Amino acid sequence: MQTRITKLFGIQHPIIQGGMHFVGLADLAAAVSNAGGLGTITGLTQKTPNDLANEIARCRDMTDKPFAVNLTFLPTVSTPDYPGYVKAIIDGGVTVVETAGRNPIQVLPYLKDAGIKVIHKCTSVRHALKAQDIGCDAVSVDGFECGGHPGEDDIPNMILLPRAADELEIPFVSSGGQADARSLVASLAMGAEGMNMGTRFMATVEAPIHQNVKDAIVAASELDTRLIMRPLRNTERVMNNPAVERVLAIEAAKGKDTAFEDIAADVAGVYPKVMVGGDMDAGAWSCGMVAGLIDDIPTCQQLIDRIMSQAEDIIRKRLAGML
Ligand SMILES: Cc1cc2nc3c(=O)[nH]c(=O)nc-3n(C[C@H](O)[C@H](O)[C@H](O)COP(=O)(O)O)c2cc1C
């Protein structure tokens, strides 16, 4: 299957693994890229630019295929050394960067000068148009279903993707709620040129996270995520657990007056405890509604092969058979 996205990034299949804090290490990125998709190393999970340079080198040792690095611009406790991370990306010969959070204009000229393709992940058509205007090569349109930060507009992909198709000239992929061949074919039908998956790639053999996390995703239904940090306008979709219930109770009590400090114990510094330590109740961790569609833990190769062969069946048999 060839789309503008496979051509732009030089990949075999139109499937991308989105950046994920403490999940997007070289092991997963290389596995996705080796399976013909685009794997992504999450830049800020690496404590320093030098650590990121080492992680890029580690990925390169495991794959000769293209892979991406994610650069996320979100409110953080301390400001990361973005110029240092950009230098590590350029010096490491990375060919694709996924930006997310704020508008990436501050890093874009450096990435473009280095010939790097930039795909910006955003949750609204107006932000996608802005990304197009400032020179991004593609966008990843992240619907309300998504794990992580769905923004504040709450528009699901059934509406957001056709709206993006109506407005955008640059190619885009669907993101949020994507899990299988049905997701891919539906995304293509709505105008996307591929799909980006987060939660689905966590439940794979190569995802370098604790088995408890993978098992929790398989066990979860589509009813098991919650939205936290809404009063802070930094909404995050997370797997429900006792820590999340505590956060929601504080937010319900304090409303608009909720401050980050009120919930910090259950949202800050949680990822190492969950992803590495396997302590599922250590705090809030991102997870998409799509957990309801995930019921196995395949290798990335098995997952991507299955998606591509079933997508072909859907298009050639189910859909063509209706004509
Ligand atoms: C555990 C987890 C951590 C994530 N961390 C990041 C991140 O650091 N930066 C980012 O841009 N997106 C992050 N995301 C969002 C994903 O890249 C992707 O956009 C999202 O998971 C898509 O929705 P899905 O989970 O329904 O597939 C994260 C998602 C999850 C599930």
Nearest atom in ligand 1 to the alpha carbon of residue 285 is 1
Residue among 21, 97, 236 whose CB has most ligand 1 atoms within 8 A, to mutate: 21
- pLDDT tens across 96-108, in order? 999 999 999 999 9
Give residue 112 CA to ligand 1 midpoint distance, Å: 24
Give residue 21 CA to ligand 1 midpoint distance, Å: 8
- pLDDT tens across 58-104, in order? 999 999 999 999 999 977 767 899 999 999 999 999 999 999 999 99
- pLDDT tens across 146-205, in order? 999 999 999 999 999 999 999 999 999 999 999 999 999 999 999 999 999 999 999 999
> Rounded to two decimals, what is the model's pTM?
0.98
Nearest atom in ligand 1 to the alpha carbon of residue 197 is 27
Q: What is the pLDDT of residue 198?
A: 98
Helix segments in the chain, DSSP class H: 4-9, 26-34, 49-62, 82-91, 108-113, 125-134, 157-167, 181-189, 199-202, 211-219, 242-254, 260-267, 271, 300-313
Q: Whose CA is nearest to atom 19 of ligand 1?
A: 18
Residue among 16, 20, 28 whose CB has most ligand 1 atoms within 8 A, to mutate: 20
* Mean pLDDT, residues 261-272 taken together: 96
* Ligand 1 in reach of 142 Cβ (< 6 A): yes
* Mean pLDDT, residues 267-286 taken together: 97
pLDDT above 80 (res 258) = yes
Lowest-confidence segment of 25-34, 52-61, 71-80, 120-129 by average pLDDT: 71-80
CA distance 280 to 213: 7
Spell out the residues 6+ positions from residue 14 whose beta carbon is closer than 8 angstroms to its own: 1, 3, 5, 6, 173, 184, 188, 193, 194, 195
* Ligand 1 in reach of 291 Cβ (< 6 A): no
Q: What is the pLDDT of residue 78?
A: 79
Q: What is the pLDDT of residue 79?
A: 87
